Amino acid sequence: MNKAVDKDVIDALIDDDAENIGSNPTENRPFHDILRAEMERRDVLKGSLASAATGFFAASGISSTAQAQTSSLMNFTPVSLADAAAGDGTQPLLSPDYDMQTLIPWGDPIEPSGPAYREHANTSREQANQVGIGHDGMWFFPLAEDLVADPSVPVINDFLQRWFNVNTRGLMCINHEFGNNFQVLGKEAPESLEDVRISQHAHGVSVIQIELMDGVWQTVDSQFARRIHVNTPVEFSGPAAGHPLLQTPAGNIPLGTVNNCGNGTTPWGTYLTCEENFNAYFGATNTESTWVATPLQERFGFAEGGTFGNYQWWMWDKRFDLSDPDYTNEENRFGWMVEIDPQDANHVPVKRTAMGRFKHEGAAWTVGDDGRIAFYMGDDERFDYLYKYVSAEPYQQMLAAGVSPLDDGTLYVARFSEGGVGEWLELSLNNPTLAGLYSDMGELLVNTRLAADAVGATPMDRPEWTATTAATNGTCYVTLTNNSRREEANAANPLVPNADGHIIRFTDDTPSGTTFDWEIFLIAQDTHGTEESFSDPDGLGVDFEGRVWIETDGGQKDGLQDQLLIADPNTKEIRRLFMGVNGDEITGIAYTPNRRTAFINVQHPGNGDPTATNFPAPTDGVTVPRDCTVVLTRKDGGVVGS
Ligand code: FEO
Ligand code: CA
Ligand code: CA
């Protein structure tokens, strides 16, 4: 095939995920830690309480760990290739062993008492109290009042009440990555500042209390419900906080988070939201024709006319005008990892600069024997890198001392070598190369991508989500979604070009160390033409029993739509659990603690076109499709994914 044509075809396919160039948390560790502690205590439980407790644990996800060692990890009937290919893509398809419901579609009020959704007619003020669009990374947090705060304190009288509540109500933190103007505004470009504000308020994060009532998950009025969007006050912490590169001549306070794609969690119960393609929202009116991109701006792809999405915020909101001298450096305030406390509606989101500035995608963690915590993070762009952040001290000691483990630590970037080995290259002034380029860590961190270039990191095929297998010394998986432009292979990115992506599995010698072993787990193109067919892996999770949840974003082969698949980590068998609709992306993974309920997202169904799909509404050809969460349960009440 003519190579140029081939590249164009592949580019067109990849452009199916137009922006796009999303996390997962693997487990709600704080809860699990408590659960484990409770399990250790159960031997001392007596009489009817003991039997009630045993019944509870038998009904929890924990018991299946033992089963998994002797049987297949998946026994559900998959959505077959034939059924999937026969569909018209207007409604999702689901394994016959599962049930689903939809939840929190874009535009619904975040509390039942809030402003009602009106198709393309809500005001920006209303949108600021409604679910955003572009549902992506998310996590389900049991309410603190439903958790046993101190596992050493016996909880007897309301034991059952507490445990069962955590599986039937909680706080959903959910990212709203993006929504094009056509979908959000019903027009191709904003025509006023009000239009821009509607768009800005549709971006960001929602914290929404959801409860299972009468067998249906619903939103409820809550002291914790809130929207965090592009105009919400935020703070900076870590080495770059207060740096001149984060100050503007206008002196405006730091506001907002945008293009929140993948997510992470922390063992101390907070939510991490990842800022990805923030460059798209900036452009330049350039009336004086003086704006040209700096090398750093160029490295992030800033352009006078913006990039994808035609957002044109800069035409109406000077903060996003790269050529406005009052707002020099405003763009440096984006591209960070942002920490949110879901249990405190007054908590100001914190941009953790020690974790680097790039197109963040995911932050899966594991703790080493030395107590230091490591977060693995992708930078999703063609030829960009895989990063790791490690806390300076054991994270629990830091928390006890009132220091965030996310503020004091070391950032590394990965170099993959032949033979399945790799090393983490330190991004600090300890490296003479970097000491020669940057005068302080703040400057280095704002310039993370350029610093990683300078130390010789391995250019990857778009690192998307990361997922770790265990809370201590876990193995990590990372999705490499695709790379149509790769012309030269390296050990970890062997396909030229890489139209459909692959997944790498790696294990640090110790999470706080600098060497690791790696292997290629799956190559998507190898599945084409089979029941296991998938392309463009993006969202990723590893559940308690080790199953790998793979979500896709891009043109699927064999007549498929984007999908959720479950893979056995040992046999590499793959089963299709859910397939989405025309034009969408499947992303975001969360669970209730007992693993009886999973949540995933259908992002940009039909790209807003009602002739493509009306999901989650019934097919009628006219209703604007809306991003939404899909709740998945097994019909037999079993562990999700099994
Ligand atoms: Fe927003 Fe890289 O996915
Ligand atoms: Ca993607
Ligand atoms: Ca993604």
- Please indicate, yes or no, if residue 38 is contained in any of the structural domains: no
Ligand 1 site, residue 276, Cβ cutoff 6 A: yes
Q: What is the pLDDT of residues 422-431, one digit of tens each?
A: 999 999 999 9
Mean pLDDT of 439-456: 98
Buried/exposed code over 302-330 (b: 16+ C-beta within 10 A; e: otherwise): bbbebbbbebbbbbbbbbbbbbbeebeeb
Mean pLDDT of 254-273: 97
- Please indicate, yes or no, if residue 250 is contained in any of the structural domains: yes
Peptide bond into 30 cis (omega under 30): no
Ligand 1 site, residue 380, Cβ cutoff 6 A: yes
- Please indicate, yes or no, if residue 254 is contained in any of the structural domains: yes
User: According to the model, what pLDDT value does residue 149 have?
Assistant: 52
Q: With bands split at pLDDT 50, 70 and 90, how would you rate the model's confidence at 410? A: very high
- Please indicate, yes or no, if residue 159 is contained in any of the structural domains: yes
- Contacts with 41 (C-beta within 8 Å, 6 or more apart), sequence order: 151, 154
Ligand 1 site, residue 20, Cβ cutoff 6 A: yes
- Please indicate, yes or no, if residue 18 is contained in any of the structural domains: no
Q: With bands split at pLDDT 50, 70 and 90, how would you rate the model's confidence at 542? A: very high
- Nearest-angstrom CA–CA distance, 485 and 113: 49
Strand extents, DSSP E, 392-451: 409-417, 421-426
14 to each of 8, 431, 499, 619, how far by Cα in Å?
10, 37, 8, 27
- Please indicate, yes or no, if residue 133 is contained in any of the structural domains: yes
- Please indicate, yes or no, if residue 322 is contained in any of the structural domains: yes
Q: How does strand 574-579 pair with strand 93-94?
A: antiparallel
pLDDT at 546 over 90: yes
Is the Cβ–Cβ distance between 179 and 625 less than 8 Å?
no
Name the closest-CA residue to atom 2, ligand 1: 21
Q: What is the pLDDT of residues 136-174, one digit of tens each?
A: 999 999 998 887 655 555 544 444 455 668 899 999 999
Query: Residue 447 has which token pair?
Result: 């310039």
Query: For residue 459, how many C-alpha atoms fall within 13 Å in the half-sphere facing its CB?
Result: 15
Q: What is the pLDDT of residues 189-229, one digit of tens each?
A: 999 999 999 999 999 999 999 999 999 999 999 999 999 99
Mean pLDDT of 310-316: 96
State which ligand 1 atom lies nearest to the alpha carbon of 481: 2
- Ligand 1 center–CA 262 separation, angstroms: 7
Least reliable range by pLDDT among 39-53, 228-242, 280-294: 39-53
User: According to the model, what pLDDT value does residue 13 have?
Assistant: 27
State which ligand 1 atom lies nearest to the alpha carbon of 361: 2
Ligand 1 site, residue 22, Cβ cutoff 6 A: yes
Query: Residue 207 has which token pair?
Result: 């914290």
Which has more confidence, 163 or 503?
A: 503
Ligand 1 site, residue 167, Cβ cutoff 6 A: no
Residues of the domain holding 272: 104-338
- Taking alpha carbons only, the member of 174, 96, 74, 177 closest to residue 565 is 74
**Mean per-residue pLDDT over the chain, rounded:** 89
- Ligand 2 center–CA 33 separation, angstroms: 32
Mean pLDDT of 509-534: 98
- Nearest-angstrom CA–CA distance, 40 and 627: 42
Query: Residue 299 has which token pair?
Result: 């490295």
Query: Residue 624 has which token pair?
Result: 């604007």
Q: With bands split at pLDDT 50, 70 and 90, how would you rate the model's confidence at 24? A: very low
Name the closest-CA residue to atom 3, ligand 1: 22
144 by DSSP, 3-state: which? Answer: helix
- Nearest-angstrom CA–CA distance, 507 and 519: 9
Mean pLDDT of 259-274: 97
State which ligand 1 atom lies nearest to the alpha carbon of 553: 3
For the chain, give me the number of helices (H) and strands (E)? 14, 28
pTM: 0.89
Going edge to edge, which strands form the sheet with 537-542?
93-94, 574-579, 563-567, 548-552, 537-542
Residues whose CB is under 5 A from ligand 3 (ion)?
A: 22, 464, 538
% of the chain beyond a pLDDT of 90: 83
Q: With bands split at pLDDT 50, 70 and 90, how would you rate the model's confidence at 66? A: very low
- Ligand 1 center–CA 42 separation, angstroms: 43
pLDDT at 282 over 80: yes
- Ligand 3 center–CA 536 separation, angstroms: 10
pLDDT at 474 over 80: yes
Ligand 1 site, residue 536, Cβ cutoff 6 A: no
- Nearest-angstrom CA–CA distance, 253 and 273: 20
- Ligand 2 center–CA 255 separation, angstroms: 26
SS (H, E, C) 162-184: HHHHCCCEEEEEEEECCCCHHHH
* Domains in the chain, number: 1
- Nearest-angstrom CA–CA distance, 39 and 249: 57
Longest CA–CA separation in the chain, Å: 81
Q: Which helix (H) or strand (E) holds 125?
A: helix 124-127
Is the Cβ–Cβ distance between 585 and 20 less than 8 Å?
yes
- Please indicate, yes or no, if residue 244 is contained in any of the structural domains: yes
State which ligand 1 atom lies nearest to the alpha carbon of 261: 1
Is the Cβ–Cβ distance between 548 and 541 less than 8 Å?
yes
User: According to the model, what pLDDT value does residue 150 have?
Assistant: 53
Ligand 1 site, residue 275, Cβ cutoff 6 A: no
Ligand 1 site, residue 464, Cβ cutoff 6 A: yes
Q: What is the pLDDT of residues 547-566, one digit of tens each?
A: 999 999 999 999 999 999 99
* 266 alpha carbon, distance to own chain's centre: 13
- Ligand 3 center–CA 270 separation, angstroms: 21
Mean pLDDT of 349-354: 99
- Ligand 3 center–CA 133 separation, angstroms: 15
- Nearest-angstrom CA–CA distance, 29 and 35: 9
- Ligand 3 center–CA 272 separation, angstroms: 15
